[in-house]
Structures are given as C-alpha cells and as structure tokens.
Amino acid sequence: MRIPLIRPYLPPRTKELVCGVLDSGFYVEGPMTARFEQLVADYLGVAHVIAVDSCTDALEISLRCLGIGPGNEVITSDYTFPATLQSIILTGATAVVVDVDARSMNIDLEAVEAAITPATKAVMPVATFGNPLEYRRLERLKQKYGLYVVEDAACAFGAEYRGEKVGIQSDLTSFSLHPRKFITTARGGMITTEKAKWAEWIRSYKCFGKGMQATRADTAFEQMGANAMLPDVLSAMGVAQMEFVDEMLARRMKLARRYLNLLQDVDGVCLPETVEGGNHSMQSFCVFVDDRDRVMSAMRNNGIEAQIGTYAMHMHKAFLDNEHVRFESSMSNSRWAFDHCLSLPLYHEMTDAEQDDVVDCLESAVASKNT
C-alpha cells in the first residue's frame, strides 16, 4: 500500500537505546523496562505502571489479581477485539456481553446495569479506538453494586477525561504496545493502578510468582505465576518514544483535526462522537459509511490501506458456542458499527498530500455507490 494504515514513528534515539541494551548484554526485563515504566507513570500521573508482554496478558493478569475466576461474571463490550473476551474466559469466569452506543462505540452503560447479577464481580469496558469512557457514570455503578472496573484501554494511551489521562480513573487499566499503536515496543502491554498491593501482586505473577523483595540468592516463589515480562530490548523502543510523547500526540491530533475539517461536509460520511468531557487519542481515525466493504475495497485498489474498525463478538462461532460467554442484548448497535465503521490511515509522518489523497479517494468511493 502506498498509504499504509499506520507507520510506527521511531525517534532518532531509538537505535542508540536499543543498541545500548544489546551492548549491555542485559536482554531480559531489567533497568530499561523499569525506566520505561517510570516514564509512563510520570506521563499519566498514576502511581504504578507494570510492563507485560501483551495487552491480552495485561487484561487477564488484572482479573486474576482481583481473584476473578470460576463462578464470577465480568460484563464487557460486544464491539471489540477478541482478546477482550478471551482474557475473561481464560480465568474461568463468564464474559457477559452487552451492546455499545452506536455513535461513540463505547459500552452502553444502561445495558451494563441491566446485566448485573449477584455473580457480577467486574466490568471490563473498552475505550474504543482511543475514545475515553464515561468514568463518572462508571464510578456510580461501581459504588452502587460493589464492582471493580478493569479497563481495556488498548487504544487509548494519551486520551483524557475531564483533564485526567486515561489510566488513572479505573481500578486497573491495560494498554497495548502493538505496532498499530502510536506508542509501540513491537510487542507488549502495560497495566496501571493506584493500588500498591495490586501492583506488587502483578509484578510477582508476571515473573513466575517470585517474591519481589527477595535477592537472587534467596529467591522465593510465593504464588503461581506466568512468564509475562517485557524484555529490555523492546522497552528501549518505548523509552525513545516516551521522550517524544507530547510531540507525537500533538502531531496525531493535528492530523485528526485536519481530517475532521476535510470530512465534515462530505455526503455519505458520518463522524463518530467523542464522549462528552473527553479528549480522544485518535489511535484509530474512524468514519461511518454505507456499503463499507465496497468502499474499503475501492480504497485498497487505489493503494490506500483502509480497514474495518473492529469486530462484533456475537457474529463469531468461538463465542456463540462458548459456555463461558453470555450475550445480554440485541447487539444492534454493535452490528451497525461493525457494518459501517471504516478506519482511515493516520501516522506521524503522514503528509497533507497523502491525507488529501485519502479524503479524495474516500469521497469518490462513497459517491460511486449508486453507479
């Protein structure tokens, strides 16, 4: 594709930092990962950041930290990537799946409340494409029913709600560091929390259950655990990007605003809504169009890597035939979002000419639907 969906931006210091790790001989998780975690904690204003090897593991580990397992229910969104549901299922808990708001594509909180049962222990809402959640309403539900909020913020790094960064409002928040994300370590994830005891448990669990206060000579394994550490050589990429995170996000916002200006009056193209009081991180810049697959195909045929938004879980056999999944509403909004949402290219070094080309191609493809 001459215009890709995303092209990760690696600042000039990336090679220097990665090569420094290679030269050090310390390739596993160590001082570079600790440095990365601290930079993220300072940026988000959160007490604890724990780097792990994927966002999927981040979500599962967060649930296990809270003791969630067989006999428990976790309410989550139908319009999401499979990893959201899979992280719940892997603990042995039941994923209770509800519809989304059609315009924001975030979880429908009225549907969440209607789905709460005595077995409900947590809500796992998705900050879809970087659109922050309605945290005030979530907090009311949490307090009313005694629930945990375990947020899937895979795409929401840098997003804000009422002046606070995503990553501090929920009990536990998970971010992705996949190459499609604007902060990437090629593979990896992060968990954020304000609770020291949870952070200590997670640090132990991701390192085979090792006691965190032990020295190498007297290492004690205090619980069952996993190997979910983020290697230093990957963390070096994250450190290089975190040193430029404000610049990177500002560039992304500038490009997103330009898209909004160019598309606001295009017939047949509708723009999603950002949650009131929120600042979208624009991890994915999405629009709604009719006949989405035809439009996407036309753009790809012109060398522009348009993509679907994400998936509607109720359409997939893996979850329909799963005893650990229960669907609680019609999913009409989720299905509508799946059928109409189109993700457009957006990346740090995108030029105005490339952006104009994307818009022109989109407008032409939408206009040709009746020809």
CATH at 243 = 3.40.640.10
> Residue 218: what pLDDT?
66
Q: Can you tell me the distance from the alpha carbon of 198 to that of 124, in angstroms, rounded to the nearest whole number? A: 17
The answer to whether the beta carbons of residues 341 and 109 sit under 8 Å apart is: no
pLDDT of residue 109: 97
Tokens 């593979």 locate to: 187
Q: Which of 24-28, 113-117, 225-229, 333-337 has the lowest mean pLDDT?
A: 24-28
Among 271, 288, 289, residue whose Cα is nearest residue 280: 271
Q: What is the mean pLDDT of residues 164-171?
A: 98
Number of domains the chain is built from: 1
Given a cut of 70, is residue 217 above it in pLDDT? no
- In the prediction, which pLDDT does 221 show? 86
H-helix or E-strand spanning residue 160: strand 160-161
CB-count burial class (<10 Å; 0-12, 13-18, 19+) for 305: middle
CA dist 324 and 92 (Å) reads 7
Is the predicted pLDDT of residue 127 greater than 80, yes or no? yes
H or E segment to which residue 174 belongs: strand 172-176
Write the pLDDT tens digit of every residue in 247-258: 999 999 999 999
Question: Strand 164-165's sheet: what is its strand order?
Answer: 164-165, 160-161, 278-279
Global confidence as pTM: 0.96
Question: Residue 135: pLDDT above 80?
Answer: yes
Task: For the chain, give the mean pLDDT.
Answer: 96
List pLDDT tens digits, range 51-68: 999 999 999 999 999 999
pLDDT of residue 18: 97
Cβ 49 vs Cβ 192: under 8 Å: yes
- Count helices and strands (H / E) in the chain: 13, 16
Domain region containing 181: 1-371
Query: What is the percentage of the chain residues whose pLDDT exceeds 90?
Result: 93
